[in-house]
Amino acid sequence: MIYFDVTKTGRAGHASGLNRVSARLREELGAAARPIEWHTRRREFRQLPAGRPVVWRTGDWFFTGELFSETERPGIGAWLQTRPCRLAALFHDAIPLRFPDITWPQSVARHPGYLSLLADFDRVLAVSDESEKELAAFWRWQGRTERAKTGRLHLGADFNRHPRRRSTTPPPEPALLCVGILEPRKNQLFLLEVCEALWAAGAHFTLHLAGRVNPHFGASVVARVKSLRRTGRAVRHHEGVGDAALAQLYASARATVFPTIAEGCGLPLLESLWQGVPCVCSDLPVLRENADGGGCVSVAVNDAAAWSGALRRVLTDDAAWRTLADQAASRPLPTWAESARALQAALV
């Protein structure tokens, strides 16, 4: 049996990438996974929904895709040391250590201890090759002799459980869609400046930003959106958007834009391709793991001229758009059902 940790994600009120990963994996695992959550007072995991203690067996697996620390879950380190069963985790990224100045302070404080605890797991699956390398590099830097066997788990692209979309004609009204929390790491301020230059030069399109606002770092992005709207620019922010509304935004987009400076995997890129929508994305190694398969245009990070040229082309060149759209719709993409089967195969 796989006992699936939902301590945070089971109660989350927003659809972050981490929450989507947890929810879709658990859904596809079905009866093979039982949800559990950490009980702080008793310092143990309890089954949901009844709250009964877990009767661990040697052959069971504890699996978590969540981020945790001794501060957030007092006693978790001691519990892990008891090794009541086999331990497995999904590792997302080391971004809080690489970009501490633009990451939530709580995440920065938590991450070193969290990564250290992962070394004592039996199995750690990373969401990308780059993330797996980062984890191994941290353990080497820390001088850890890890117990964990690492590997890669490909995440699913079918975020809304619908069949893949295919379009042979661009949407009638040109629109770009950027999906992700509003914060410096996602680089929306840079994107807004590139779009402002295009609008000033006479380009006609609407930019949609879909995502919640980072309470520590997102205010400047919101302020810039409001400033541009006051001047009549066609930019819209959609906060708290659900899967159905997000699918509609994809359907109306000529392309998605992903100018991020750091990712663990880059789910918006995969989900854009599933919708048959070309993606203009940052030329990061972690994104190229998926972008190089087709349907994407990779552009150097923060190169305003290159981004301007790439966006202008995808907005105006129908032949180039059709080539990208055909690639997006026809290339192989992983599904969450396949991700769940791969997870089960890894936990043997």
Which candidate, 246, 115, 249, places its Cα nearest to that of 171?
249
Give the per-residue pLDDT at 14: 59
Second CATH level (architecture) for the domain 2-156+336-346: 3-Layer(aba) Sandwich (3.40)
The domain ranges of the chain are 2-156+336-346, 175-330
Strand 61-64's sheet: what is its strand order? 44-47, 33-39, 2-5, 61-64, 86-91, 123-126, 149-152
Unique residue bearing structure tokens 């605890």:
117
Q: Which helix (H) or strand (E) holds 153?
A: none
Q: Residue 13: pLDDT above 70?
A: no
pLDDT at 273 over 90: yes
Specify the pLDDT at position 235: 98
Range with the lowest mean pLDDT among 2-16, 100-114, 248-262?
Answer: 2-16
Burial letters 315-347, b for 16+ CB under 10 A, else e: beeeeebeebbbbbbeeebbbbbbbbebbeebb
Binning pLDDT at 50, 70 and 90, where does residue 161 land? confident
Chain centroid offset of residue 216 CA: 19
Q: Are strands 44-47 and 33-39 parallel, antiparallel or unpaired?
A: antiparallel
Q: Are 72 and 242 in contact (CB under 8 A)?
A: no
Query: Residue 176 and residue 119: Cα distance in Å, rounded?
Result: 41
pLDDT at 181: 95
Average pLDDT over the chain reads 95
CATH architecture of 175-330: 3-Layer(aba) Sandwich (3.40)
Tens digits of residue pLDDT in 312-328: 999 999 999 999 999 99
Q: In terms of C-beta density within 10 A (0-12 exposed, 13-18 middle, 19 or more buried), how is residue 287 classed? A: buried
Summarised one tens digit per residue, pLDDT across range 278-307 is: 999 999 999 999 999 999 999 999 999 999
pLDDT, position 50: 87
Residue 173, pLDDT above cutoff 90? yes
Per-residue pLDDT at 236: 98
Summarised one tens digit per residue, pLDDT across range 203-250 is 999 999 999 999 999 999 999 999 999 999 999 999 988 889 999 999
pLDDT band at residue 330 using 50, 70 and 90 as cut-offs: very high
Share of the chain above pLDDT 70, in %: 98
Q: How far is CA 36 from CA 33, 73, 90, 335, in A?
A: 9, 14, 16, 24
pLDDT at 10 over 70: no
| pLDDT tens for each residue of 15-73 | 677 889 999 999 999 999 999 999 999 999 999 998 999 999 989 999 999 999 999 99
State how far the Cα of 252 lies from the Cα of 158, in Å rounded to an integer: 18
Average pLDDT of the residues in 193-198: 98
C-alpha distance from residue 67 to each of 140, 167, 192, 283, 311 (Å):
21, 38, 31, 27, 35
CB 223 within 8 A of CB 210: no
pLDDT at residue 130 in the model = 97
| Average pLDDT value for residue range 334-339 | 97
Asked if residues 314 and 307 have their Cβ atoms less than 8 Å apart, the reply is no
Residues 6+ apart with CB under 8 A from 149: 122, 123, 124
Q: What are the structure tokens assigned to 323, written together?
A: 């080539």
Whole-number pLDDT of residue 240: 83
* Calpha distance 321→255 (Å, rounded): 9
How many whole angstroms separate alpha carbon 280 and alpha carbon 262?
15
